[in-house]
Amino acid sequence: MPGTPKKQRSKRQVFVYHMQLMLDLAWNDFRKKYAGSVFGVFWALAQPLVTVVMYWFVFQVALGSGPVDGFPFVLWLVAGLVPWMFFQEAMLYGGEALLGYSYLVKKVSFDISILPVMKVISALFVHLMTLGIMLVLYTAMGYFPGFQILQVLYYSACTFVLAVGLAYADAAIIVFFRDLGHMINIALQVGTWVTPILWNLSRFPAKYQLIFKINPMNYVVQGYREALLYKRFFWEEPGYTLYFWGVTLLLLLIGRRIFKKLKPHFADVL
C-alpha cells in the first residue's frame, strides 16, 4: 500500500490507509506519554481516579452533599466527570498536535490533517479505560445500567466529533499564537464549573437552564447521566439533539476551514 502510486489508489484504499495510519500514530502517541515510567499506563488512570476521589471527598464528605434524585452522589458525579475529562484531555493535547509533530508537518508527502484527529483518538484510549472502571463502580454499587449503557458509545462519539472540530481550529491557530494554549487551559478550568458537572442543573428555574444548555458539553454530560442513571434515550429530546449536532457540525466545518486556510504556512513557522 505505501508503495502504490497515489494516483492509482482508490478512494477506499486511501481512506483505509489514513485510518490505519491515524490509529497507529494515536497508539504510539498514547504509549509515548508513559514510556519509561515504572507503572506505565497506570498513570493514564491515576489522574481520573484522583480527580473523582478529590471531588467526592470535597462535595460529599466535607460539604455533605447527599444523593441526587435518589442516586448515590458518587455515581452521579462520575457520570458527569468521565465525559468531561475526555473532552478536556482531547482539547489540551489536540491543540498541541502540530507543535508536537513539527517534523511531520515539514514532510511534503504527509497529510498533516490527520494529526489533530490522531490526538483525540489518543485521548479516547484513556476514556475507554475510564469507562471500564466506571462500569465496575456502578456494578459494585448495584446500579448496573443495563442495555442503556450502549448510549454511552453514542455520547462518546458526540464528544469525539465536538473535540475534533475544536482541535482543528486550536492546532492551527496555536502555531501562530502560542498564548492560545494557555487560554484554552483556563477556559477548561472555568468550563468544569460552568458545565453542570459538579452541580445539578435541575435546581435552576427552566428559563435559566436554557442558558447553560447553549454549551454543547451540557448535552453530553446530561446524556451520560440519562443513560446510566435515569434510563432515558437521546431521541426523547429530539430538539436538543438537533441543536447539539447543528452546533457541533458547524464547529467542525469552521475548524476544518481554519486549518485548511492556515495549512500552507505551518512549515514556515514551525
Amino acid at 100: G
Sign for the pseudo-dihedral over CA of 69, 75, 78, 79: negative
DSSP string, 69-97: TTB-HHHHHHHHHHHHHHHHHHHHHHTTH
* The predicted structure's pLDDT at residue 108: 66
5 within a domain of the structure (yes/no): no
Residue 268 is inside which H or E element, if any?
helix 266-269
pLDDT reported for residue 105: 81
Torsion sign (Cα): 12, 126, 254, 224: positive
Q: How far apart are the C-alpha atoms of 188 and 167, rounded to whole Å? A: 13
Q: Is residue 108 part of a domain?
A: yes
For residue 71, the cross-strand partners are 68
Instruction: Provide φ and ψ at 167, rounded to 5°.
Output: -65, -35
Asked if the structure places residue 32 within a domain, the reply is yes
Residue at 190 is within a domain: yes
- How remote is the C-alpha of 258 from its chain's centroid? 20
Give domain status of residue 8, yes or no: no
Residue 249 within a domain: yes
168 and 255 Cβ atoms separated by less than 8 Å: yes
Three-class secondary structure of residue 36 per DSSP: coil
Question: How many angstroms separate the CA atoms of 90 and 102, rounded?
Answer: 19
Residue 124, CA distances (Å) to 45, 121, 157, 163, 227 in order: 12, 5, 10, 11, 19
| Residue 7 resides in a domain | no
The reported pLDDT for the residue numbered 154 is 95
pTM value is 0.88
Kindly state whether residue 60 falls inside one of the protein's structural domains: yes
Q: Which of 131, 149, 119 is nearest to 229 (CA)?
A: 149
Neighbours of 146 (CB within 10 A): 10
3-state class (DSSP) for residue 196: coil
Q: How many folded domains does the chain comprise?
A: 1
Residues 131 and 58 sit within 8 Å (Cβ to Cβ): no
> According to the model, what pLDDT value does residue 250 have?
97
pLDDT along the chain (270 residues), means of 10: 53 76 82 66 76 83 79 91 94 88 78 90 91 89 83 94 96 92 92 90 82 93 92 88 96 95 85
Q: Identify the three-state secondary structure at position 21.
A: helix
Q: How far apart are CA 152 and CA 141, in angstroms?
A: 19
> Which are the contacts of 186, defined by CB distance < 8 A and separation ≥ 6?
none
Q: 68 - beta bridge partners? A: 71
Element (H, E) at 133: helix 114-140
**Which structural domain, as residue segments, surrounds residue 43?**
17-269
Q: What is the pLDDT of residue 39?
A: 58
